[in-house]
Amino acid sequence: MRIFGKQLVLYLVTLVVSFAFLGAVMGQGVRSFFTERRGAELARLAQRVAASMENFQEYGIFNLHLLGNEIRNIHNYTDATVIILDADFNVFVAHGLPHGAVAEFSELAPVMHGETVTVTLAHPNLQPLLIVAEPFWLGGQVAGAALVGFSMAELDAAILEMYRILLYALIFAAIFAFAIHLMAQFGRSSEDFRELEKIHNTFIANLSHDIRSPLTSMRGFLTAIEDGTIPTDEQPHYIRIILDESERLIKLSNDILDIQKDHEVALAVSVFDVNDLIRKTIIGFSQRVTEKNLTVISHFAGPTDMVEADEEKIRRALYNLLDNAVKFTQNSGEIIVETTRIKGKVAVSVSDNGIGMTSEEQKYIFDRFYKGDPSRGEDKMGSGLGLSIVKTFVRAHGETLSVESTPGKGSVFSFTLRMAQIR
């Protein structure tokens, strides 16, 4: 019992550290992505404003009335803060700054030497602004600068909301782990207790592996970005990989939460093309399919197969079935995803020529935490939740889920969806 308690504490500590690291990585990744994308938009707008400045001057004197109207129109159309400075950093015209706000522009000094400058301005009386400053010229000399910026407040609010969601996921995961601990403590018999403890230990080991793998990958890429191993022009690609890895961790947290909802799954039913959903889901496995040299074939009942269901939950079910197929199909194997129409239903099947399952394994394959004989597959880790979640989501729709499998020949998982009545 004491060892079991120590394992729970170790798991909770690992969970807290992992989520803290994940939050930091995701926050930095989102901020970098936003800054890069917004920066490009601001640069184009600042260049346009700077290029038009000569239209508002005559004999070296600016018509502030016409210039002010133009800057106001740009601000109203783009919601950007627009500021025009003279060569001494005095403000000619400004729109988008809060009333009474004062900003220090000395850090933009290079712009008065003809350079384009991108900075984040942050002052006690001014919300942080991502600013691009573009010089404008009169008579062959720099006469001032056009500043265009967007508030970082929206980004900060989005990152704060992301942290809040991660905190909720952490709390739920901790409660779940503690609940398992209590269940083990109050087991009705020593045999039940030992079995539950085995499940708990396996679950913690698998979950630790699933958390550690993406964190290791993210740390490697972030280190390479920080020390300059990855060139600047290639960094957006690796930032996207880091964000994808963070999505894996979020999915794992969602899986842990989903297994608590067998009897309370809320469905957001809509009409969508399940064929299109299948195509998009398959694309998400491109890298793993390439690494194992797998062939993925799709056969559809028609050009489109419109169904009525919760699209996100069906996407999760498809993802878990394809993940299972890729995981347990040997190199150079084949996976087939197919739709057929049967009496007002669309049947979706995912088949593979992988290792297959015995009839005994098929009895328990949809149970929580169940994992078949690990000696028969290369993947010996995993939470054992994927197929249980598929069952939960499919049955929440009132539909059927089945499996056919032969050891050494492969498996076929199938489920049905209600065909949409298009009028």
pLDDT at site 129: 76
CB 242 within 8 A of CB 418: no
The arrangement of secondary structure in 52-151, i.e. its CATH architecture, is 2-Layer Sandwich (3.30)
- Classify burial at 384, counting beta carbons within 10 Å of its beta carbon; exposed 0-12, middle 13-18, buried 19 or more: buried
CB 150 within 8 A of CB 96: no
pLDDT at site 300: 95
CATH number listed for the domain at residues 269-419:
3.30.565.10
What pairs with residue 91 in β-bridges? 85
CB 382 within 8 A of CB 270: no
The per-residue pLDDT for range 242-259, each reduced to its tens digit, is 776 677 677 666 666 665
Cα gap 75→95, rounded to integer Å: 6
pLDDT at site 380: 44
The per-residue pLDDT for range 195-225, each reduced to its tens digit, is 666 656 655 655 565 666 567 767 777 888 8
For 269, other C-beta atoms within 10 Å of its C-beta total 13
User: DSSP letter string over 275-338?
Assistant: HHHHHHHHHTTHHHHHHTT-EEEEE-SSS--EEEEEHHHHHHHHHHHHHHHHHTS-TT-EEEEE
CB 330 within 8 A of CB 289: no
For 117, list phi and psi in degrees, rounded to 5: -125, 135
pLDDT at site 256: 64
Residues of the chain with CATH 3.30.565.10: 269-419
User: DSSP letter string over 359-408?
Assistant: HHHHHHTTSTT----GGGSS-----S-HHHHHHHHHHHTT--EEEEEETT
Place of tokens 């399940």: 274
Cα gap 189→207, rounded to integer Å: 26
CB 38 within 8 A of CB 158: no
For 13, other C-beta atoms within 10 Å of its C-beta total 10
Helix (H, G, I), strand (E, B) or coil at 228: coil
Cα gap 15→366, rounded to integer Å: 26
Could you say which residues of the chain have pLDDT below 70? Answer: 1-8, 11, 15, 30, 35, 54, 57-64, 97-104, 106, 122-127, 181-214, 217, 244-245, 248, 251-264, 368-384, 423
Q: What is the DSSP letter of 245?
A: H
Residues of the chain with CATH 3.30.450.20: 52-151
CB 29 within 8 A of CB 243: yes
Q: Which two tokens stand for residue 354?
A: 């992988």
pLDDT at site 9: 72
Structural element, H or E, at residue 126: strand 126-138
Q: Which two tokens stand for residue 273?
A: 């093309």
Beta carbons within 8 Å of 118's beta carbon, 6+ residues apart: 39, 42, 43, 130, 131, 132, 133
